[in-house]
Amino acid sequence: MNRVPADKLRQGLQPVCGRCRQTLKVESRPITITDKNFRAEVERSPLPVLLDLWAPWCGPCRAIAPALEELAVELAGRIRVGKLNVDENPETSARFQVRSIPLLVILREGQEVDRMVGAMEKSAIAQRVQAILG
């Protein structure tokens, strides 16, 4: 397991494997999740995924977006942050029985392990994520 310092990612440096020197794929920005790529990006992810179910017209969704972008950088290599537009992806929205947004779901191997409804402070989101990461 390679450790990637968040400050190096913020500087724009590309991490490499300490053993084989291959470039590591580390998302330091939220990735776009859709009905079509959900299986590949979330269910098959080697890392837990913090999935933001949101809509562009939702004020609270837009309010927490900067915090999620910061968490994507700070937790890069430990968790992936994804964003799923509920208006454009009805299958996945139905799967998670989305009743209100913003909805944050933490998934491990495609299985839901935690759920947070409503706008939350970055520190509260980070605390819940850290509890999952151990």
Give the CATH number of the domain where residue 67 resides.
3.40.30.10
Express each pLDDT in 61-71 by its tens digit.
999 999 999 99
Q: Does residue 120 fall inside a structural domain?
A: yes
Express each pLDDT in 25-80 by its tens digit.
666 789 999 999 999 999 998 889 999 999 999 999 999 999 999 999 888 878 99
Q: Does residue 83 fall inside a structural domain?
A: yes
Fill in the amino acid letter for 102: P
Q: Does residue 107 fall inside a structural domain?
A: yes
Q: How far is CA 90 from CA 17, 43, 63, 84, 124, in A?
A: 38, 17, 23, 10, 28
Catalytic residue among 58, 73, 126, 132: 58
pTM for the whole structure: 0.82
Active site annotation includes 20: no
| Domain span holding position 60 | 27-133
Q: Does residue 97 fall inside a structural domain?
A: yes
Pick the residue with more confidence: 31 or 3? 31
Q: Does residue 90 fall inside a structural domain?
A: yes
Q: Does residue 122 fall inside a structural domain?
A: yes
Express each pLDDT in 91-120 by its tens digit.
999 999 999 999 999 999 889 999 999 999
Catalytic residue among 33, 53, 61, 72: 61
Say which residue the tokens 């913020």 belong to: 10
Q: Does residue 5 fall inside a structural domain?
A: no
Q: How many domains does the chain have?
A: 1
Q: Are strands 103-108 and 111-117 parallel, antiparallel or unpaired?
A: antiparallel
